[in-house]
Amino acid sequence: MGLGPPVFALYRQLRTLGIFDRVQSVMELGSQNVWCPQSNMIKDIFSAFNKPAPSQELLDSFTNWTGSARDFYEGLGLQYQCVDTDGKFGALTLDINFDKVPIEHKGQYDFVTNHGTTEHLINQLNAFQMIHDFTKCGGYMLHALPFLGQVDHGFFNYQPNLFDSLARYNSYRTLGVWVGLDWQLDSFVPWETKLLDFLVLTPKSTGLLIVLHQKMYDTEFQVPFQGVYEETKTEDVSSRYCFVVDGEYYDGRREKFVKKSDLLTSHTEDRTPKPVIVTKESPTSYAHSALGSANVNLDGVSGRALARELAKRIKLRAKRAFSGHSGS
């Protein structure tokens, strides 16, 4: 899709907030062009990065779609790389549908962007795994993708709950979710569901969903399961999934312990069970590590029953801990 005015408006704010202070290297999915007819916007960004104003030739290239994202980022003093099948703008030639991140590029980039690329790919799983794998621990992942409208632009449009699930399963920090009402407008608004009562978009609208995540742990990518259907999974299905919590892998059958309400227990000291991978072979060893070394006979107790009981105890401890904090 390329970099346009709403993205530049966001970059200007991220620079002001200090996000780009920690960014030296950029990896983009797609060999992106730049389109921004507002020359003053480009000049403002260069000024915000303490760089000289771009030449008129470069500004003209950004106006007529001939300028590249490489010209833009390197003009800001950032190391730049992109990946695409066309090799354009010096791209690393990889097929995002099939290829994996080369080992020498894994975890090497501070800022990984998805500016209107993944909607053109059938293999969404590989695409989001590549984004994760390119990103350093502590690095940022920015998505600016079709939201409402843009019929037949690509294979997919995107919904906010996808990025909620990606963050939950991979323990990403969500720094912002915004809607760009049109990709040619240099403005965006924070996302909330009530916006749907006010937005009037047609099939030709070019609204964007913009999401900024931070990768908090150096862990392998975890495939998310849509939250609204999590309770429908059988134990065998759940066993295929994992969550990342505090840098540790939690077996998917423990999803009840990593919902937002239960994660509050991580703020109490010595009150939560240590992360333990649950297996069918060792449910009792998990119970002893989580509940203590009490001499309890668990023969004949199902794993699901143990999970329900443990969930109740964790919630009770969290409630006690936080009621104590509120009263202090």
Assign residue 177 the CATH number of its domain: 3.40.50.150
Claim to verify: residue 201 and residue 235 sit in the same structural domain: no
Per-residue model confidence (pLDDT) at position 250 = 85
Claim to verify: residue 201 and residue 244 sit in the same structural domain: no
Claim to verify: residue 266 and residue 232 sit in the same structural domain: yes
Claim to verify: residue 172 and residue 257 sit in the same structural domain: no
- For 159, residues 6+ apart whose C-beta sits below 8 A from its C-beta are 209
Q: Which of 153, 184, 214 is the last residue of a domain?
A: 214
Token pair for 193? 């569901």
The tens-digit pLDDT sequence of the chain (328 residues) is 678 888 889 999 999 999 999 999 999 999 999 988 889 999 999 999 999 999 999 999 998 888 899 999 999 999 999 999 999 999 999 999 999 999 999 999 999 999 989 999 999 999 999 999 999 999 999 999 988 777 777 788 899 999 999 999 999 999 999 987 776 777 778 888 887 777 776 766 777 899 999 999 999 999 999 988 888 888 888 889 998 988 988 887 765 555 544 443 343 333 333 333 333 333 333 333 333 333 444 455 455 555 566 666 666 655 555 555 444 4
Contact between residue 91 and residue 31 where contact means Cβ atoms under 8 Å apart:
yes
3 state SS of 91: coil
Count of C-beta atoms within a 10 Å radius of residue 268: 15
What are the angstrom distances between the C-alpha of 244 and each of 2, 58, 252, 255, 259?
Answer: 32, 44, 10, 11, 12
Is residue 273 situated within a structural domain?
yes
Contact between residue 11 and residue 23 where contact means Cβ atoms under 8 Å apart:
no
DSSP single-letter state for residue 33: B
- For 122, residues 6+ apart whose C-beta sits below 8 A from its C-beta are 97, 155
Per-residue model confidence (pLDDT) at position 236 = 86
Claim to verify: residue 106 and residue 153 sit in the same structural domain: yes
Claim to verify: residue 245 and residue 192 sit in the same structural domain: no
Q: Which of 189, 214, 239 is the last residue of a domain?
A: 214
Q: Which long-range contacts (CB under 8 A, 24 or more apart) does 307-314 make?
A: 307/253, 307/254, 307/256, 308/256, 310/257, 310/273, 311/256, 311/257, 311/262, 314/257, 314/262, 314/265, 314/272, 314/273
Is residue 55 situated within a structural domain?
yes
What does the longest C-alpha to C-alpha distance in the chain come to?
Answer: 78
Q: Which of 166, 188, 214 is the last residue of a domain?
A: 214
Per-residue model confidence (pLDDT) at position 293 = 36
Label residue 322 exposed, middle or buried (CB < 10 Å: 0-12, 13-18, 19+). Answer: middle
CA distance 181 to 200: 10
Claim to verify: residue 30 and residue 139 sit in the same structural domain: yes
CA distance 189 to 205: 16
Is residue 198 situated within a structural domain?
yes
Is residue 257 situated within a structural domain?
yes
Claim to verify: residue 158 and residue 206 sit in the same structural domain: yes
Per-residue model confidence (pLDDT) at position 154 = 75
Q: What is the dihedral of CA 256, 258, 259, 265, to 10 degrees?
A: 110
Claim to verify: residue 243 and residue 208 sit in the same structural domain: no
CA distance 205 to 244: 37
Claim to verify: residue 175 and residue 296 sit in the same structural domain: no
Claim to verify: residue 234 and residue 155 sit in the same structural domain: no
Q: Helix 283-291 and helix 303-327: axis angle, to 10°?
A: 20
Domain, as residue range, for 287: 227-327
Strands 109-115 and 135-149: parallel
Per-residue model confidence (pLDDT) at position 24 = 97
Per-residue model confidence (pLDDT) at position 257 = 55
H/E segment holding residue 112? strand 109-115
Per-residue model confidence (pLDDT) at position 127 = 98
Per-residue model confidence (pLDDT) at position 188 = 78
Per-residue model confidence (pLDDT) at position 211 = 96
CA distance 280 to 286: 10
Claim to verify: residue 188 and residue 233 sit in the same structural domain: no
**Could you tell me which of 283, 312, 311, 284 has the C-alpha nearest to residue 296?**
284
Number of compact structural domains in the chain: 2
- For 184, residues 6+ apart whose C-beta sits below 8 A from its C-beta are 4, 5, 206
